[in-house]
Amino acid sequence: MARAVRCARLVDVVGEQVLTDQLIVIEGDRIVSVGPDRDFDGETLDLGDATVAPGLIDLHTHLVGVAACGDYAQELKYSAAQQAFASIPNARDTLLAGFTTVRDVGTFRAFIDVALRDAIDAGQVVGPRMAVAGAYVTVRGGGGMLTGFAHDVEVPPEFRFGETRSVDDVRERVREIIFHGADLIKLIATGAVLANGTVPGAPELTEAQMRAAVEEASWYGRYVAAHAHGTEGIKMAVRAGVRSIEHACFLDDEGAELMAAHGTYLSADIWWADWIREVGPSQGYDAEQLRKNDETAETQREGFRKAVRAGVKIGFGTDAGGFPHGLQGRQLATMVEYGLSPIGAVKAATLTSAECMGWEDRVGSIAPGRYADLVAVPGELDITKFAEVEFVMKGGEVIKNTLRVSS
């Protein structure tokens, strides 16, 4: 039976405008029509003076694991079952924050993200729709490995599933990760800020290895996201044909123009550095990690500004998991501070991210045929309010509603 949602304001991310007095008609879990408010003979949910937007999308989450912490050794303190159960509140908190869809881009212990995705799809766990990477494709000792251990400490094999040394290794790893249920491939193209002993700006995979990953993934209808901080690593990954660049801490003008020319998406976690600075020391982040965070934070934000100016496709990725899940919405205001309009930021976290995932036919906009995924904040469009949305609907089901609506 059809039902409707009445909203005073609706963010049209396709037309990049705010429409007034709109009625969204829903059947089952899908939207069937959107248009000016009218009499409707059926159940109607009136959201009052709120601004309604599509369900938000985070392109860069890590839902698997225990609490956010700078000590990667903690990964070895928990069993796979413990990590899986600990992921359940992470998924719930993400959905309650308005993120009805996420791209989960890797877990140190391979394939727990696949199990979490499947449990959500089966209705066994409350959480967002997930596209998952399964495991990192990385060099030994690189940014996708557990690092900081003594040389004679052997890390268990499930933490080394995506380790690679050659082009042929990359092809084999990509195939096996896909065969085990991954929706996309995540490459660690350069060192990482939080992986001790690695240099964020240094390339780790070669351009030939990345090109092989892109080609191999394409045979199976998959695409590649590349963790890339360094200037040259970014350019190598773009030339290799990856779908998105993650982080991009040292993006220069040439790199931004190259991304724009290739249609490469940017998923840059430009808010998280503030959280690390504020609470990182109390959460176990060590001196090396804090130093590298300070060295990359402002450079990354200026690179983001360059990407906006160059016309790069800007998605929304936060690296949630490095900080507590559910805080992702705080990044929208930072994106406005560094170059996007408020509607542009909402579009980045909805339609553009859906296009990056290849899911624009099902999520990312309020349009017929899309899932009935909605979020709302009180009053007029104010990007800071998305830090804590007051209404969440996923697939036609109201997950959260704390809006105060006058009768």
Is 64 inside any structural domain?
Answer: yes
Is 214 inside any structural domain?
Answer: yes
Q: Answer whether 135's CB lies under 8 Å from 201's CB.
A: no
Residues 12 and 119 placed together within one structural domain of the fold? no
Question: How is residue 279 written in tokens?
Answer: 């609470």
Integer Cα distance of 296 and 304 in angstroms: 12
Is 406 inside any structural domain?
Answer: no
Integer Cα distance of 99 and 127 in angstroms: 9
Residue 281: band (very low, low, confident or very high) from pLDDT cuts 50, 70, 90: confident
Residues 337 and 247 placed together within one structural domain of the fold? yes
> DSSP letter at 320?
B
Whole-Å CA distances, 150 to 140, 143, 190, 254 = 14, 16, 22, 39
DSSP 151-204: TTPPPPGGGSTTEE-SHHHHHHHHHHHHHTT-SSEEEE-B--SSSTT--TTSB-
Is 27 inside any structural domain?
Answer: yes
Mean pLDDT of 7-34: 98
Sign of CA dihedral 239, 243, 249, 251: positive
What amino acid is encoded at 62 in this protein? H
Residues 87 and 170 placed together within one structural domain of the fold? yes
pLDDT value of residue 362? 98
Residue 16: band (very low, low, confident or very high) from pLDDT cuts 50, 70, 90: very high
Residues 392 and 312 placed together within one structural domain of the fold? no
Residues 131 and 25 placed together within one structural domain of the fold? no
- CATH number of the domain to which 370 belongs: 2.30.40.10
Is 105 inside any structural domain?
Answer: yes
Residues 248 and 396 placed together within one structural domain of the fold? no
Q: Which among 315, 329, 374 has a CA at the least distance from the CA of 93?
A: 329
- The pTM is what? 0.95
Of 186 and 41, the one with more pLDDT? 186
pLDDT digits (tens, 9 = 90+) for 175-195: 999 999 999 999 999 987 766
- CATH number of the domain to which 259 belongs: 3.20.20.140
Integer Cα distance of 187 and 242 in angstroms: 9
Q: By residue range, what is the domain housing residue 116?
A: 56-357
Last residue of a domain, one of 357, 373, 393: 357
Residues 336 and 381 placed together within one structural domain of the fold? no
Is 407 inside any structural domain?
Answer: no
Is 230 inside any structural domain?
Answer: yes
pLDDT value of residue 197? 67
Residue 21 in this model has a pLDDT that exceeds 90: yes
Integer Cα distance of 155 and 147 in angstroms: 9
pLDDT digits (tens, 9 = 90+) for 147-180: 777 778 787 788 888 899 999 999 999 999 999 9
Sheet with 99-104, side-by-side order of all strands: 56-61, 99-104, 129-132
Strand partners, 50: none
End-to-end Cα distance, the chain:
25
pLDDT value of residue 270? 97
Mean pLDDT of 362-369: 98
Residue 103 in this model has a pLDDT that exceeds 70: yes
Structural domains counted in the chain: 2
Residue 329 in this model has a pLDDT that exceeds 60: yes
pLDDT value of residue 406? 63
Residues 123 and 166 placed together within one structural domain of the fold? yes
pLDDT value of residue 75? 79
Residues 130 and 165 placed together within one structural domain of the fold? yes
Residue 279 in this model has a pLDDT that exceeds 70: yes
pLDDT value of residue 300? 95
Residues 37 and 99 placed together within one structural domain of the fold? no
Is 266 inside any structural domain?
Answer: yes
Q: What percent of the chain has pLDDT over 70?
A: 97
Residues 14 and 115 placed together within one structural domain of the fold? no
Residues 247 and 302 placed together within one structural domain of the fold? yes
Residue 67 in this model has a pLDDT that exceeds 80: no
Side-chain-side CA neighbours of residue 200 (13 Å): 22
Greatest C-alpha distance within the chain = 72
